[in-house]
Amino acid sequence: MQAASMDPAEEPPSMLWGLDPVFSAFARLYIRDILEMTESTQVPGIYFYNLHPISKVDVLGTVVYKREREDFFCYGVDDGTGVINCLCWKSDLLKEEREPSKSGAQLSAAAQGGFEPVAELQKLRRAQRTRCHLEIGELLRVRGPVKTSRQQREIKASTYYKVSDPVMAVQISWMMEAPQLYRQCYDKAPQLEPDAAGDSAVSSLSRATKILKDFLKQKSVSRFRPYDVQDLLQPLISSQPQAASADQEPVAGPSACQQLRQLLKEALQILQDEGAVYRKVKSQDEVYLVTVQDKDLLVAVKDIIREDSRREKYVEKGCHVLHILSAVRQRYSLNVSRAALELVLKTLECNSDIISTSDSHYTAI
């Protein structure tokens, strides 16, 4: 497969890539998406998935073919969406030959209860050789940069090892985490702000949002009003540098109180967009409910899934998230967003109240 290149007009400037946390992480993408990523025209070896700059990936899959050379293994890894070649270099320990003349004395010393460093090192080498030498059908985890060699996409492993998963617990956990990463991160376009003039405001807003999130989590708050949390953001306003110096005329602008109210308003809007909080009833009395702490909402969603998953239409596959959202808005509150609902579904699933039958279908246990 020949690697596709992104249109230079669509590609974000390379100086902004570091603003995207995906850029410095090992992205847990499906192999199908790794094979279809477009390559950067600015920097070879950088690829884009939904405008996220990606250089390193994390893959878990079954070995479907293998080749061994003096210095490396080539494993074909299949995660159910595609197959990618993984170049796994041998460590020096794997290349070293055992010394049979010493092994008998070492094992004898170990059998007598003594500690023989060389014998223990041999055990470690055998263990590493077992973890790094895989056969077809075994489970392999690979992390490393993506490369294109001879027009074929491959992973040059920086870390790789055989995964022991007799009851498929690791694979099930992986399959449950991957869709969440896509929903919460990879499928959302990165927010890269090239305007340096707005850096200070963006920084204050991100810090304000983090302060509110930490407060709600630490105090287990279930509901609040804006004036309950307004003072938490006061240090952000007080610490902002003054625009006018002693020899300059003061510049007219919003007062500190107005800046505080505006910052709080924008931070609360971000929390609503993320689904962390919502307003059950929109009225002059601004009451915000913390989504995962709202027991009534959790019970309402659980009851809807339990009742509707018994219906013939939903027995086999479960209730679609959009059906659940529509029912919640009809029976509980019109102001529940999809983001808020997804947080509730995640909480219920972690509590073993419901299970997901696909990326977007849920049924009661």
pLDDT, tens only, 11-44: 888 888 888 889 989 999 999 999 999 998 888 8
Q: What percent of the chain has pLDDT over 70?
A: 83
Cβ of 257: how many Cβ atoms within 10 Å?
Answer: 11
Cα distances (Å, whole numbers) of residue 90 to 69, 93, 311: 9, 8, 56
> CB pairs under 8 A, 24+ apart, for 240-243?
240/200, 240/204
Q: Which residue has the higher pLDDT, 5 or 120?
A: 120
- For the cut 50, the answer to whether the pLDDT of residue 251 exceeds it is no
pLDDT, position 244: 44
Q: What percent of the chain has pLDDT over 90?
A: 49
pLDDT, position 59: 96
Instruction: Encode pLDDT of 162-210 as tens digits.
Output: 999 999 999 999 999 999 999 989 998 887 655 444 455 557 888 899 9
Cα distances (Å, whole numbers) of residue 322 to 160, 184, 212, 329, 362: 39, 17, 29, 11, 11
* pLDDT-derived band at 47, boundaries 50, 70, 90: very high
3-class SS at 60? strand
- For the cut 80, the answer to whether the pLDDT of residue 238 exceeds it is no
Once rounded to an integer, what is the mean pLDDT over residues 221-225? 92
* pLDDT-derived band at 100, boundaries 50, 70, 90: very low
Distance CA(55)–CA(364), nearest Å, equals 39
One-letter amino acid at 95 equals K
Contact present, 212 and 221 (Cβ < 8 Å): no
pLDDT, position 246: 46
pLDDT, position 173: 92
Q: Residue 236, CB half-sphere, CA atoms under 13 Å: how many?
A: 24
Instruction: Encode pLDDT of 276-295 as tens digits.
Output: 999 999 888 899 999 999 99
- For the cut 80, the answer to whether the pLDDT of residue 252 exceeds it is no
pLDDT, position 116: 82
What's the mean per-residue pLDDT of the chain? 84
The kind and range of the H/E element at 153 are strand 152-156
**Is the CA virtual torsion 196, 201, 205, 210 positive or negative?**
positive
- For the cut 90, the answer to whether the pLDDT of residue 87 exceeds it is yes
pLDDT, position 48: 93
0.85 cut: is pTM over it? no
* pLDDT-derived band at 316, boundaries 50, 70, 90: confident
Q: Residue 35, CB half-sphere, CA atoms under 13 Å: how many?
A: 14
- Residues contacting residue 360 through CB under 8 Å, at least 6 positions apart: 320, 321, 322
Distance CA(46)–CA(83), nearest Å, equals 20
- For the cut 60, the answer to whether the pLDDT of residue 107 exceeds it is no
For residue 293, the Cα-to-chain-centroid distance in whole angstroms is 23
Please give the structure tokens belonging to residue 89.
């270099």
- For the cut 50, the answer to whether the pLDDT of residue 142 exceeds it is yes
* pLDDT-derived band at 101, boundaries 50, 70, 90: very low
User: Which residue segments constitute the domains of the chain, with CATH numbers given?
Assistant: 14-167 (2.40.50.140), 201-237+258-291 (1.10.10.980), 294-364 (1.10.10.10)
